[in-house]
A and B are shown apart, each in its own frame.
Chain A
Amino acid sequence: SYELTQPPSVSVSPGQTARITCSGDALSKQYTYWYQQKPGQAPMVVIYKDIERPSGIPERFSGSSSGTSATLTINGVQAEDEADYYCQSADSGATWVFGGGTKLTVL
């Protein structure tokens, strides 16, 4: 199995842009998925297949991927975006791996 690496924390002021990175060898061949998790709640997908945004997720959330890295970008960060964010990708077949998570703090 392999690992996905995320920064433990990212801090931004309201209205600024937050970028959360995820790196791992398999990302060059597999899609990246991003989840938001607020305290006491189950995770919620905010980006799937690298760049796709589920219905109901605000347009300020976007995803990108290049080589062995993927990035979740939140434009115009709002206080409600403060949460833990996890990237996810397939390992092999139907096995999965999650990144260690990034705590987004809105200053």
Chain B
Amino acid sequence: EVQLVESGGGLVQPGGSLRLSCAASGFTFSSYAMSWVRQAPGKGLEWVSSINYSGGTTYHADSVKGRFTISRDNSKNTLYLQMNSLRAEDTAIYYCSYSYGSGAFDIWGQGTMVTVSS
């Protein structure tokens, strides 16, 4: 069974850092690009970051560029999101996702909540 399980969320003060993880199973992780998408409470979806299959190419939304870094460890089947200089507006559920062929984000994890507050 294909599965994505996010972890690492929690409460952090403004200006702080957090690293999210997404453990993948049930598919050949190293063959697929992966992405992070977030959703602030009561708000819509926002694409955050994407990384290609090898980790050699990354993309970030303007809202997080220079503060967040997406990476992956194909030997551990794990995707990461390093979040620095966190702001209140980064408060959201963070989902990892990937496309297995449709071009859409076919598979989603259950999400991990990040709360930035003093």
Q: Which residues of A are at the interface with B, using a C-beta cutoff of 8 A?
A: 1, 31, 33, 35, 37, 42-45, 48-49, 52, 54, 84, 86, 88, 93-101
Q: Which of B55-107 contact A (CB under 8 A)?
A: 57, 59, 61-62, 95, 102-106
Are B108 and A96 in contact, with the CB atoms below 8 A? no
Are B110 and A42 in contact, with the CB atoms below 8 A? yes
CB distance from A29 to the nearest CB of B (A): 14
- Compute how far the CA of A96 lies from the CA of B46 in the bound complex, rounded to whole angstroms: 9
- Compute how far the CA of A99 lies from the CA of B59 in the bound complex, rounded to whole angstroms: 19
Are A48 and B102 in contact, with the CB atoms below 8 A? yes
CB distance from B38 to the nearest CB of A (A): 10
CB distance from B8 to the nearest CB of A (A): 17
- Compute how far the CA of A48 lies from the CA of B59 in the bound complex, rounded to whole angstroms: 22
A33 closest partner in B (C-beta): B104
Are A96 and B102 in contact, with the CB atoms below 8 A? no
Are B35 and A49 in contact, with the CB atoms below 8 A? no
- Compute how far the CA of A38 lies from the CA of B83 in the bound complex, rounded to whole angstroms: 27
With beta carbons under 8 angstroms apart, the residue of A45, A93, A97 that contacts B47 is A97
A93 closest partner in B (C-beta): B59
